[in-house]
Structure formats: structure tokens, C-alpha cells
Amino acid sequence: MLVWFLSLLLLAFVPLIFLIPWAMQRGLDFKSPDFLRVFAELATTDKMAILLQVISLLPSHLLTFALVWALVTRFGKYPFLRTIGWEWPDRVWPWLSVGLGVVLFGVAVAITKLIGADKPTQLEQIINSSAASRYAIAFLAVFTAPFVEEFVYRGVLFSALQKLAGSVLAGCVTLGLFTLIHVPQYWPNIGVLAAVGLLSVALTIVRAKTGTLLPCIVIHFVFNGIQSVLLLFEPYFSTPPAVPDPLPSLVVLLRVGLF
């Protein structure tokens, strides 16, 4: 739980390291009485500020990985991959994991069509703010998010809770926390949140049944990969809408790219 909490703190404070120098370059006065209002407006409307917050996810992910490594290996006393569960249950699981990733994405699309996903989300506003933000989100969603999220949620959190309270309670807590952190970026689209919940349920079941983490990472990787490819090609088939109202808070920007 401490690793999970610290990972959220990293997502909250690392962006400030990127934003504050940019704010100073733009001439913001830290001594001004309305500095917080102006700073928040810059962070949520300026294209470069939004991009910097997206880019800041990379060092946040790397630092989170360092936390996971420290806990799992007890600072190098145990091998990381073997301890975290980086192995296949049997030979069929590499292909089965890829297939499950594709199937889950198809089911997720069906759920969003059935329940509805036409309301603009905070993540869509960020994606449409600039091409650079779109590319950065696609990169992070494929090459860092599946690994870091699975290490934290089904690698560290689920396995620890499973030993303490059993698989059912561990699965419920993991599902709840994983879905909860995605609410800001996908609200108010209930259909998308339901799809995220479905993905979490499937990944947690796979983790509980196989006793390993690698299948979950591959499923998550394939799921995000399909979504990111579609995201990159979307501008060539449709005109992205302009960014609507300014984003309400920095918290929304801290979870982008973590599909």
C-alpha cells in the first residue's frame, strides 16, 4: 500500500518540477497573490504546459519502478524478475495472452458502444491539445504504463493482499483501486470506465489463476497497443475537435496515458 501511495505522490509532484521552470519562463510571479490561479490556468490551457505534464509521466514511471524494485528485491537481495512473477505458466500462455488482449479490446469497444462513450473526456481534451501530446501519450501507454501498472497493482499489491486476506478480497481491492485512478481521465463516460473495470477484472483473474505476472503484462500491452495505434491514426480519418473548456485541475493531467 505504501508503494501504491508513493506512486500517486510521484504523479502529483514530478509534473511540478517540469511546470515551474516553464511558468517562470512565461513570466509568472511567485509572489503574486493570484499566482495559484494563473499557474493553474497555464497548466490547463497552455499546450506546452500540458505536454510537459504528459512527458513528466516517464520519470514518474521510472521512479515508481525503482520503488517496486526496492520492495520486491529487498534492495537487491532477491532476483527481481523471478520474484515479481516474470514467467509463463506454460507454453500456451504467450499466444493465449495476445489473444486475450485482442478479445478484451473488442469486448471493451462493444461495451462502450452499448453503454455509450460519446461524452468528451479529460483525456480526449489532452490528446487533442497538440500532436506532440498525442504521440507522447501513445508511447507511454504502450512502453511504460502496462509494465508499471502491472508491477504495482497485480505484482506488488495483489500478491501482498492475497497472502493477508485471500484472493477474493485482494482481487476486489485491486480492481477498485485500479478503476478508481482511471476515473478522472475518463469521467463522465461510464462506458469507458466499465471497459477499464472489465480489463482489471480479467487481469486480476489471470494473475490469481496462473500465479504469474507476465501474462497480465502482455495482455495489458496488447490492449494498450491496439488503442494507441488507433489513437495515432485517428487524425488521418477525422478532424479532432478543438480543446473545449479548460481542464478543471492538475489531477486530471497526472494520469494521462495510463489506459
234 pLDDT higher than 80 = yes
- Residue 139: predicted pLDDT: 95
Give 102-151 pLDDT, tens digit per residue. Answer: 999 999 999 888 886 666 677 777 888 889 999 999 999 999 999 999 99
248 pLDDT higher than 60 = no
- Euclidean distance between CA atoms 133 and 240, whole angstroms: 13
SS3 content of the chain, % helix, strand, coil (to 5): 75, 0, 25
**Nine-digit cell string for 57:** 509521466
Q: How many CA atoms lie within 13 A of 164 on its CB side?
A: 11
Find the radius of gyration of the CA atoms of the chain: 19
Burial class (CB in 10 A: 0-12, 13-18, 19+), 8: middle
Give 52-80 pLDDT, tens digit per residue. Answer: 999 999 999 999 999 999 999 999 999 99
- Residue 125: predicted pLDDT: 78
Q: Which residues contact 228 (CB under 8 A, 6 or more apart)?
A: 137, 138, 139, 141, 142, 259
243 pLDDT higher than 70 = no
Higher pLDDT, 111 or 185: 111
170 pLDDT higher than 80 = yes
Give the pTM: 0.87
Look at residues 136, 124, 113 and name the one whose alpha carbon lies nearest to residue 245.
Answer: 124
Look at residues 56, 217, 62 and name the one whose alpha carbon lies nearest to residue 147.
Answer: 217
Look at residues 145, 126, 156 and name the one whose alpha carbon lies nearest to residue 53.
Answer: 126
- Euclidean distance between CA atoms 136 and 197, whole angstroms: 24
